[in-house]
Chain A
Amino acid sequence: MSQIEEVSLDKFKHLVSERALTGETMLLNMGPQHPSTHGVLRLLLELDGEIIVNCIPDIGYLHTGIEKNMEAKTYQKAEVMTDRLDYMNTMGNNLAYVMAVEKLVDLDVPVRAQALRVILTELQRIASHLVWLGTSGLDLAAMSMFLYCFREREQILDIFELVSGQRMMTTYFRPGGVWRDVPVEFEKAVRDFIKIFPKRVDEYETLLTKNPLFLDRMLSIGRLSKEVALSYGVTGPMLRASGVDWDLRKARPYCGYEQYDFNVPTRTEGDTYARYLVRVQELRESIKIVEQALNKLPLGPVRSSNRKFVTPPRSEIGVSMESLIHHFKLWTEGFPAPKASIYSAVESPRGELGLMLEGDGGPKPYRVHLRTPSFDNLGVLSQIVKGHLVADLVAILSSTDIVLGDIDR
């Protein structure tokens, strides 16, 4: 039985300044249940008055062993774990996982499924950015932002419910395609959203972009230089706000992103306001991609016809013995993957979401590593908050757009 130990300063001696040891500066816990930490994150702050001298993030409160759990499931069943990873980006996580599996077993995906994947992940990106915009508004006491953003997000979640039956834990993408074709109402629902959304972004910008109170809280706060960002492995909008034009959708197009015309917004200032501008601009770019993909959504099958990896349609099972065998084998045993390892990455709303997937010749992954963007984006926090006020920490933290489920896995 382990005794409850009193926390002593000895463990953090090398992380705080010498003044903390003499009691000149104060150590303060922010979190793990603080509303502006966006989840269960504990920040141990060393404060000189109201100025932050050091910030030591403590993570792991949401650690659920997703990587270990995935090793015990077949390739099809392990996918549900990825939904629970970054719960603001379920479609994007599914995409990262199915693309890794498809690369490992060399499986083709029909063009219609690819276009559907693009539409839904871009809608998910908008939904994720809306949660970020709403909550970071809320952190800076702009309550109405939160209500407006969640109104639009609701519409996207309704679309997800339409196609997958679930609002959040969708598991709609499957290795070799998508679960089933979208219903007929899908196109109208997305068209309605495309119609209203650009105007709504204008409304958000009227409220925030030139609001003097907002600018006071955001300008020149939490500056992150290009070199520091790269060294700390920061990716996504945070990296682009620091002047690096790097977006995996453009640099290494997947799922047919090369067919769509969109810009990668970048800023050079690297402060909280630059991150805000980049993300708001991304909302507009994403809706452009959704519109283009919907306009040229091809007809055809949505699942690969490779029966060794994808279950046959229900109608075939009654008439073909072979299909019945495939169906039975795939759902009881799963499909084997070669004894090799691959790394595949997609651009999630937060940055590079990578999957290191290693097979051992059997139906279960030997090792899954999830390279989650929030983990590295939080790692740089202690560098960019130094010298700022505690109140600014709230603004900086919300501008990093972390999801704790993504960090702790």
Chain B
Amino acid sequence: MTNGDYTPLLLSLKVAAISTSIVFVAGVFFAYLFAKKQFFGKSIIESFFMLPLVLPPTVVGFGLLVLFGKKGWIGSWLIEWFDFQVVFTWIGAVIASIVVSFPLMYQSAVAAFESLDKKFENVARTMGASEWRVFWTVAFPLAWPGLLAGLVLSFARGLGEFGATLMLAGYIPGKTDTIPMAIYFAVESGQMEKATFWVIIIVALGFSTIMWLNWWSKRNMRRFSNDVKRR
């Protein structure tokens, strides 16, 4: 029923995996930086980060076209210097995914770092640890459950991204057709069997990722909560 064409599945996984990796690194970096420091304009930057969460996907997509289009601010620069085109390529799908899933990662990471008891980092400092070591050996592992939740949410969001992707990456069968696009156009053209097939695939993917997260965090919480019970 899909003519043995599994490009949407592979493409979706590739796009979500790459965008999630980038979003994870950037989200953790900014969250750690911002959770510790207060500075002028912080709330403005944070609101800007959160914007894609409240804007309709087509608005986000249009904004991305303005930035990354052939004549866009960033897009024209990329073409001129690197002969690299974003619009109508799978890279465009990655960028759209990054923009819409970043707020989820950022928010989870900020919550994770803010709920972290400062005494753990402080005690590491008294033992001579550098800020870099404090982050890698204390803050990051202790915040990991929260960071992982953000990671999984970002992956799920990236997998399901449609509106902005359609604008920036376009719909080019075999090149930029992610699962949500395959579903949309199958439904619109009345190919219900094809639509159902892809809906089952994406539901299974989303469902199993979130199930896994729940299972994992429950198992992990048990380890941390024992500490509390004993006291």
Is A bound to B? no
State the B residues within 8 Å of A (CB).
Answer: none
State the A residues within 8 Å of B (CB).
Answer: none
